[in-house]
Amino acid sequence: MMRLHNLKPTEGAKHRKKLLGRGESSGHGKTSGRGGKGQTARSGSSIRIGFEGGQMPLIRRIPKRGFNNAQFRTDYLPVNLDALNTFDEGATVDEAVLRDSGNARGQKKLRIKILGDGELTKKLHVKAAKFSASAKAAIEKLGGTAEVVA
């Protein structure tokens, strides 16, 4: 019978703490895994990522050329066709309905894109920011509409 006093953690869930500074034969003696002297051997020391001891860091040494579209990219929240089967026949499905039903979980600022993965079985009127070609074809094949909203 399971009681509080005989509960044990799962095998392998608990690890013994590494004992440092317990003599050379322990394998973690002398410098205790910190290497030689210097900034990283001191307690409380931390060096920011990319810091090279005052030398010009690699990220600043290499030339930066070309255009990067990342800051102008439009991100979409993907919703697959098979997720739309949860709605009633002939229903109007828009962004608010998809978010309320839990089919479009994610940041509010992201617009929704309907993707053609899965199979749609109901006639629906779907309103979204974007549709893949296969999703639009599948919706219209069943007599529904795929309306792009800004």
Euclidean distance between CA atoms 79 and 104, whole angstroms: 6
Could you tell me the mean pLDDT of each successive run of 10 residues in the chain, 150 residues long? 92 92 93 91 91 94 91 92 91 93 89 93 94 95 92
Q: What is the pTM of this model?
A: 0.58
SS3 content of the chain, % helix, strand, coil (to 5): 25, 15, 60
Q: What are the structural domains, with CATH classification, of the chain?
A: 74-148 (3.100.10.10)
Contact 127, 92 (CB under 8 A): yes
Instruction: Say what the alpha-carbon torsion angle 131, 138, 81, 87 is, to the nearest 10 degrees.
Output: 110
Take residue 120 and report the two structure tokens written for it: 């749609």
Q: Is the torsion defined by CA of 133, 122, 81, 103 positive or negative?
A: positive
